[in-house]
Amino acid sequence: MPLRIACDLDGTVADMDSALQREAERLFGPDVDLHAAPAPITDSAEDVEAELAEGSDGPDAAPRPAGKRAPTREELRRLWAHVATIENFWRDLSEVEPGAVALLAERAARHRWDVLFVTQRPSAAGETTQRQSQRWLHAHGFELPSVFVNGARGRVASALSLDAVLDDRPENCLDVVTDSKATPILVWRHHRDALPPAIRSTRIDIVFSMKEALERLEQLMLQKGRRKTLLGRVRSAIGL
């Protein structure tokens, strides 16, 4: 049966971290390491400020390589302010896994899935964030992409009766668990031991690549088809 799916962009299919690292080195020097930041590199300057205020280290925090330093709180804010001035910043990102967007497009076309891309990207100079994101997806093999900006994952999943949500951030997957019946699929790109303990006891599916995520979606499709078939049999048996 066809699925209704939401797929996050940054960290799930788009490599925002590498682009931010390059800009951070241009601004603050080659010794800065965003992966050793005192808080996760999130999707907006406002999010960075809020998480820093809470004193969160986040799942992405890592030991600094020799000769590297973590950015200061002020540098993180300056970095996001700088990104906002870059012409069409969101159009020039690489894929986290080369070919993943085209593979998702192929599976969606084959199985007749409805796919909505969701993101919390802040504005950058040039075209709107939505248009830049659409052009990026098209350039990587997904024709006519639908992109929703600044949507809370759980509320989006509930409002649209989604079957599954793909995301690389545990907190977004927890949001889906709390606010919807959709299956959250966490695309985890760190060591297995770094998974937050709370995640392991939830109904969140954990995969380690987009290829695994697509395989899980196909399993969900088959499960949905079996449930529908069984329901149809029951309805026919009682004359409905």
Per-residue pLDDT of the chain (240 residues; tens, 9 = 90+): 789 999 999 999 999 999 999 999 999 999 999 987 555 565 554 554 444 333 334 444 455 567 899 999 999 999 999 999 999 999 999 999 999 999 999 999 999 999 999 999 999 999 999 999 999 999 999 999 999 998 789 999 999 999 999 999 999 999 999 999 999 999 999 888 889 888 887 899 999 999 999 999 999 999 988 876 655 555 555 655
Domain boundaries, the chain: 4-14+90-237, 17-83
Contact 117, 146 (CB under 8 A): yes
Q: What is the pLDDT of residue 51?
A: 45
* pTM to 2 decimal places: 0.84
CA dist list (Å): 160 to 6, 148, 156, 181, 214? 10, 12, 6, 11, 20
Residue whose C-alpha is closest to residue 146's, from 160, 159, 131: 131
| 4-14+90-237 is classed CATH 3.40.50.1000 | yes
Q: Which residues of 71-107 are buried (b: 16+ CB within 10 A; e: fewer)?
A: beeebbbbbbeebeeeeebbbebebbbeebbebbbeb
